[in-house]
């Protein structure tokens, strides 16, 4: 396929080094087409891909997948492909929360995650008694063999609730399931509302009416947390919508009648279409009914084709269904089955916890580096004068450079003077005649040579400072240090991501991936700090600052060149070649495009050679032209 599309030549393998970028795109395309589903993991809206949170069911605008995956999904759906984002800063939620001096929280579903709270944050989970006695009736799960049988049973369950005037909330795990079930209810002529990420703007209105007698509401996990469905409907919203001449007391009396009617029907019934990987999410859905002492009931409908049952719980339950010789449409309903499903959920929760714990262990390494970089950056932001930092950096960078060509306590025969001269010009912009110094001064040993080089470079920097003023130099030093630190940290984060993705392969070499990650991350961080130091010193040493007089002179020359206008004279519309041209003032240049003139325009000749994109920028920053003054 790749060869036929012209992406891979016939004599080249996909696993060759030159095909590594193509391999990256192939992986991203396979993941986009096979693992990520529309209306489950994302939706298409306004010519863009919007990610859907699997736990809350809500859209996450502005969030994008990394490593080209988002672009692959955009190509799959035929929307405009946006440029890839680059990480500027990253931190896990665990390390973010650890930054606070005091940690506390309150939720109705923390009990199932008590061990994780204790292990990660050192926090104990305390279960508080409810304000009113909970009288909700949680029915055992119904397990069917196929999805078709399950959804037929769900439709029948919804019909039974509607006929008894009991409001029902149907919880689904994805937008796709909610829309599929909505189509089935529509075919059965059952009035209902659908709440998912596609119509979230009507969320308040849908929830306000979800508690009315016989109301049917299909919702994703959007209605699973923090949603209060009032039995009989939301009275406050009804009163707020009344006009001045409408009777408030009559509205209250009607609501009270509906409220009692729903209570008599058994309260809100929550109907789950499948179990989530986390018991906490299921408990949140159940918690929509039976609130504050109100009556309510809940039941989950499952099938052997659900993801959770298929991967973790299918063997034992399938064997039980075969032994019982169950017919089509018949369901298992037993506490044993419910416990087996909860055990399957515990397996998934344990696996997800291990993933989060492992991610945190890797992020702890980056967290120490993050603290160092952010502390340094905060100091730079608060200081007005960073010249001491610059002097220290310049001295360290200079000594490291000299050590590479003139080792300490070495003989003169071991010195690479020519190489040192070249590097001093490259990194510091100074042409120092070291060979001439050594020739004229026999007593110029290694330490004195270092001192003389340092004096020359310091003196050149002092001359530059005196020419433009100390305040300008101080401002420039601070700006350059912040800019270089941010750029290097951004690149370092990308490199750390790449390292973490491939570090697991070290296990094949009988090495501990975590220890290898720590070691290589430390080496990369040390190299980044050295690059920051060198780049800051190089930019400040080679940058040329123009005075106000020089800027004014340059601007005057530019304006003078702009005033030398060239008039372009063309044939008039309908004018025959050879007819008289308009008169032009004496002294003005004339360029004509008339075919009768027989003259050709001469090519434009540059005053200076053109600078290529990958060549060094003429400003002396040391960067490539495309990353400096050639940047669009």
CATH number of 175's domain: 3.40.50.300
Question: 389 and 348 in one domain?
Answer: no
* Helical (H) or strand (E) element with 230: none
pLDDT in tens, 387-420: 898 999 989 888 888 888 888 877 777 788 888 8
Task: Report yes or no on 371 lying in a domain.
Answer: no
Question: 9 and 155 in one domain?
Answer: no
Task: Report yes or no on 603 lying in a domain.
Answer: no
Residue 207 and residue 219: Cα distance in Å, rounded?
10
Residue 563: predicted pLDDT? 62
The angle subtended at Cα 132 by Cα 130 and Cα 138, nearest 5°, is 80
The domain boundary, picked from 489, 519, 542, lies at 542
Residue 466: predicted pLDDT? 86
Task: Report yes or no on 201 lying in a domain.
Answer: yes
Question: 350 and 400 in one domain?
Answer: no
Question: 322 and 211 in one domain?
Answer: yes
Question: 392 and 347 in one domain?
Answer: no
For residue 489, pLDDT over 70 is answered with: yes
pLDDT in tens, 203-222: 888 888 888 999 999 988 87
Residue 355: predicted pLDDT? 82
Q: Among 188-192, 262-266, 462-466, whose mean pLDDT is lowest? A: 462-466
Residue 585: predicted pLDDT? 41
Percent of the chain with pLDDT over 70: 87
Question: 325 and 474 in one domain?
Answer: no
Question: 390 and 349 in one domain?
Answer: no
Q: Among 76-80, 400-404, 476-480, whose mean pLDDT is lowest? A: 400-404
Question: 52 and 167 in one domain?
Answer: no
Checking DSSP bridges between strand 42-44 and strand 49-52, what pairing results, if any? antiparallel
Residue 140 and residue 436: Cα distance in Å, rounded?
94
Helix (H, G, I), strand (E, B) or coil at 593: coil
Highest mean pLDDT among 307-311, 375-379, 544-548 belongs to: 375-379
Percent of the chain with pLDDT over 90: 19
Taking residue 478's Cβ as centre, other Cβ atoms within 10 Å add up to 19
pLDDT in tens, 104-137: 988 888 888 888 888 888 899 999 888 888 889 9
Q: Looking at residue 313, what DSSP letter applies? A: I
Distances from the Cα of 380 to the Cα of 91, 386, 475, 509, angstroms:
22, 7, 11, 43
Task: Report yes or no on 96 lying in a domain.
Answer: no
Cβ(363)–Cβ(91) under 8 Å? yes
Task: Report yes or no on 114 lying in a domain.
Answer: no
Alpha-helical segments (H) within 406-510? 417-428, 434-440, 446-468, 470-502
For residue 180, pLDDT over 50 is answered with: yes
For residue 169, pLDDT over 90 is answered with: yes
Residue 597: predicted pLDDT? 45
The stretch 14-22 carries a mean pLDDT of 75
For residue 1, pLDDT over 90 is answered with: no
Question: 324 and 252 in one domain?
Answer: yes
Give, to the nearest 10 degrees, the angle between helix 513-542 and helix 417-428. Answer: 80
pLDDT in tens, 268-278: 999 999 888 77
Q: Looking at residue 547, what DSSP letter applies? A: P
Question: 313 and 396 in one domain?
Answer: no
The stretch 605-625 carries a mean pLDDT of 70
Residue 303 and residue 519: Cα distance in Å, rounded?
48
Task: Report yes or no on 563 lying in a domain.
Answer: no
Range of the domain at 70: 1-88
Residue 50: predicted pLDDT? 92
pLDDT in tens, 315-344: 666 666 666 666 676 777 767 777 777 777
Give the tokens for residue 224.
Answer: 């699973």
The domain boundary, picked from 340, 355, 370, lies at 355
Tokens 């204790």 — which residue?
A: 118
Helix (H, G, I), strand (E, B) or coil at 169: strand
Residue 215: predicted pLDDT? 92
The stretch 537-547 carries a mean pLDDT of 82
Q: Among 158-167, 434-443, 560-569, whose mean pLDDT is lowest? A: 560-569
Ordered strands of the 59-60 beta sheet: 42-44, 49-52, 59-60
Residue 471: predicted pLDDT? 86
For residue 423, pLDDT over 70 is answered with: yes
Checking DSSP bridges between strand 296-303 and strand 216-219, what pairing results, if any? unpaired
- The CATH number given to whatever domain includes residue 65 is 3.90.1440.10
The stretch 269-294 carries a mean pLDDT of 86
Band of pLDDT at residue 70, cut at 50, 70 and 90: very high
Helix (H, G, I), strand (E, B) or coil at 136: coil
Residue 210 and residue 161: Cα distance in Å, rounded?
13
Burial of 459 (0-12, 13-18, 19+ CB in 10 A): exposed
Residue 191 and residue 330: Cα distance in Å, rounded?
27
The stretch 534-558 carries a mean pLDDT of 78
pLDDT in tens, 440-449: 877 777 788 8
What's the total number of domains in the chain? 3
Task: Report yes or no on 600 lying in a domain.
Answer: no
Backbone angles phi, psi at 409, to 5 degrees: 55, 40
Cβ(369)–Cβ(499) under 8 Å? no
Backbone angles phi, psi at 383, to 5 degrees: -80, 140
The stretch 544-561 carries a mean pLDDT of 72
The stretch 250-254 carries a mean pLDDT of 88
Question: 223 and 78 in one domain?
Answer: no
Give the chain's mean pLDDT: 81
Residue 574: predicted pLDDT? 47
The domain boundary, picked from 526, 542, 558, lies at 542
Give, to the nearest 10 degrees, the angle between helix 20-34 and helix 69-77. Answer: 60
The stretch 472-477 carries a mean pLDDT of 88
Highest mean pLDDT among 75-89, 329-343, 571-585 belongs to: 75-89
HSE-up (13 A, CA, CB side) for residue 590: 14
Which among 318, 311, 320, 316 has a CA at the least distance from the CA of 347? 311
Residue 297: predicted pLDDT? 93
Band of pLDDT at residue 499, cut at 50, 70 and 90: confident
Task: Report yes or no on 233 lying in a domain.
Answer: yes
For residue 594, pLDDT over 60 is answered with: no
Question: 406 and 348 in one domain?
Answer: no
């Amino acid at each position: 396929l790749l060869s036929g599309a012209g992406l891979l030549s016939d004599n080249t393998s996909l696993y060759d080094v030159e095909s590594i970028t193509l391999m990256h795109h192939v992986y991203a395309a396979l993941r986009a087409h096979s693992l990520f589903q529309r209306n489950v993991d994302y939706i298409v809206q306004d010519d863009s891909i919007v990610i859907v949170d699997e736990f809350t069911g809500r859209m996450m605008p502005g969030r994008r997948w990394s490593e080209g995956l988002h672009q692959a999904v955009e190509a799959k759906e035929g929307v405009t492909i946006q440029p890839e984002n680059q990480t500027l800063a990253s931190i896990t939620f665990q390390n973010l929360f650890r930054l606070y001096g005091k940690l506390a929280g309150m939720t109705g579903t923390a009990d199932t995650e008590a061990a994780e709270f204790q292990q990660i944050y050192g926090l104990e989970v305390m279960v508080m008694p409810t304000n009113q006695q909970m009288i909700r009736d949680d029915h055992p799960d119904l397990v069917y063999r196929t999805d078709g049988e399950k959804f037929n049973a769900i439709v029948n369950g919804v019909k039974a609730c509607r006929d008894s005037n009991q409001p029902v909330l149907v919880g689904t795990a994805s937008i796709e399931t909610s829309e599929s079930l909505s189509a089935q209810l529509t075919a059965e002529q059952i009035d209902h509302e659908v709440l998912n990420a596609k119509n979230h703007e009507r969320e308040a209105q849908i929830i306000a009416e979800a508690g009315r007698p016989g109301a049917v509401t299909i919702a994703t996990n959007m209605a699973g947390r923090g949603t209060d469905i009032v039995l009989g409907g939301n009275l406050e919203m009804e009163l707020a919508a009344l006009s001045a001449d409408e009777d408030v007391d009559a509205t209250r009396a009607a609501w009270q009648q509906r409220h009692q009617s729903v209570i008599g029907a058994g309260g809100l019934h929550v109907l789950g279409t499948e179990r989530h990987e986390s018991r906490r999410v299921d408990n949140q859905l159940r918690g929509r009914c039976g609130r504050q002492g109100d009556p309510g009931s809940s039941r989950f409908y499952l099938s052997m084709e659900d993801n959770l049952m298929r991967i973790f719980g299918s063997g034992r339950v399938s064997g039980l269904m075969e032994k019982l010789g169950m017919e089509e449409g018949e369901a298992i309903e037993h506490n044993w089955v419910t416990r087996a499903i909860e055990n399957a959920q515990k397996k998934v929760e344990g696996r997800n916890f291990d993933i989060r714990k492992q991610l945190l262990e890797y992020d702890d390494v980056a967290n120490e580096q993050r603290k160092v970089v952010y502390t340094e950056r905060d100091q730079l932001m608060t200081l007005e004068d960073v010249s001491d930092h610059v002097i220290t950096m310049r001295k360290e960078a200079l000594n490291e450079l000299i050590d590479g060509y003139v080792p300490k306590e070495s003989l003169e025969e071991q010195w690479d003077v020519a190489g040192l001269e070249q590097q001093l010009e490259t990194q510091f912009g100074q042409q120092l005649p070291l060979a001439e110094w050594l020739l004229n001064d026999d007593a110029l040993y290694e330490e004195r040579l270092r001192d003389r080089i340092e004096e020359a470079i310091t003196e050149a920097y002092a001359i530059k400072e005196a020419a433009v003023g100390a305040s300008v130099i101080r401002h420039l030093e601070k700006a350059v240090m912040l800019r270089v630190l941010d750029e290097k940290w951004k690149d370092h984060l990308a490199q750390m991501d790449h390292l973490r993705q491939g570090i697991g392969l070290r296990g094949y070499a009988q090495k501990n991936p975590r220890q290898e990650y720590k070691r290589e991350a430390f080496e990369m961080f040390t190299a980044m700090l050295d690059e920051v130091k060198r780049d800051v010193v190089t930019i400040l040493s080679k940058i040329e600052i123009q005075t106000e007089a020089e800027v004014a002179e340059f601007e005057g020359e530019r304006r003078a060149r702009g005033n030398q206008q060239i008039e372009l004279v063309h044939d008039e519309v309908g004018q025959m070649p050879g007819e008289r041209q308009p008169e032009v003032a004496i002294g003005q240049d004339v360029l004509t495009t008339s075919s009768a003139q027989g003259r050709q325009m001469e090519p434009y000749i540059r005053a200076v050679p053109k600078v290529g994109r990958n060549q060094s920028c003429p400003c002396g920053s040391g960067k490539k032209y495309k990353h400096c003054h050639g940047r669009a």
